[in-house]
Amino acid sequence: MNFYRFFVVIVSMFVSGAVIAQDVAQKAVLVTGASSGSGRVIAETLAERGYFVYAGARKQADIDELNAIANMQAIRLDVTVQSEIDAAVETVRNEGRGLYGLVNNAGVGDLGPLIEIPESEVDFIFDVNVMGPYRVTKAFAPLIIESKGRITTIGSRAGVLTRVFYGPYSMSKHAMEAFTDALSYEMDKFDVKVTIIDPSGFKSKIGEASFKRMQDRGFNVEDSLYSSEWEAMRMFETEGKIEVENDVPEQIANAVIDTLEAETPQIRYLTVGSKDSAMQAIEGVMRRAVQLNERNKYSLSRDELVEMLDTLLGNQD
C-alpha cells in the first residue's frame, strides 16, 4: 500500500469514526401526537435543531409525511392502545439511540356542561389526556431513566383556570398538573427532570374535532339547558374553528427546547398569546390560594401571605 492509499484509509476511518460518534451523541426525543398542531411544530423544531425525533402518529398518511422529514422517524402510536405503545418502545429500543426526551403532546378537547355531557365523552377525554401520558410515560420510563433524560407534558392554561363548558377538558388537564408534581418527586432520585407546559388557546384542529364528535352524537343546542351560553360561544356558527392567531405553538416548541437543554428546567412553563392571558392564569391560581386560606382553623394573615410569597419569589432567584 503506497503512502497515498494509506493516508486515504486513515482519513476514511477517522471520518467514519467521527460520524459514528456524532450519531451516538445525537439525542433522541419521542413526541406523541406529532401529526398536526403544536406536536408538529415541536417535532419539526427539534429535528431542525439536530435532535433525532420519533414522531408519534395514528394515520398512515401522516406517518408517510413525517418520515420524509430529516432527523425524524414516524412511529404508529395511539396513546390509548397499549399494544401500539409497547411496539413503539420496542422500536425505539431496537434502534439503539436510547431516549433522552419524552414529550407527551397527544391530546383531545371537548366542551359541554358537566351535567349534560355524556359520560362516554368524559371517559374518552380522560383516556387520551390523562391515561395516555400515564401509559406512555410508564412504558418509556426505563429508557428515560437510563439516559437521565427529560419528561415533559403539554398541559393547558385550562388546567389552572377554567370557565363555562370547559369542565371536562379542564379536569383532564388539571390532573396532569398533579401528575407532573408527583412524577417530578419520584423521578428526582434518577436525575430525570419532569416538566409541564401550559399553553393558552391557539389555532389547531382540536375545536373542529370536538365539534364533529358533538355532531356525531346528535347534540342539539335547543335541547340544552344552556342554549343561550352555546349561542354566545358561536361554536356552531364557526363549526368549531376557533381562530386564535399568535405565536403560541412556537413558544411551546421553544419551551420544549429549554426542558431538554437547561441544566435546571422550570417545572412549569406558561406559553400564552397576550399579557392578559398570562395575568388571568396567575390570578386564577392566586384566587384559589386565597379561597383555600379563607376561614380555616389556621388561616394566615395578609402579612403572613405576603411574606410567604416573598419567600417563594426569593427561592426562584
Instruction: Extract the C-alpha cell encoding 41.
Output: 411544530
Cα Rg for the chain, rounded, in angstroms?
23
Catalytic hit among 54, 169, 226, 298: 169
Angstrom distance (rounded) from CA 317 to CA 307: 16
Cβ atoms within 10 A of the Cβ of 24, count? Answer: 10
12 near 5, Cβ under 8 Å? no
Residues comprising the chain, all counted: 317
4 is an active site residue: no
Residue 161 has what DSSP assignment?
Answer: -
Angstrom distance (rounded) from CA 84 to CA 136: 10
Residue 105 has what DSSP assignment?
Answer: -
- Name which of 180, 85, 71, 62 is nearest 132 in CA terms: 85
∠111-170-282 over CA atoms, to 5°?
A: 125
Q: Amino acid identity, residue 180?
A: T
Residue 301 has what DSSP assignment?
Answer: P
Positions annotated as catalytic residues are 169
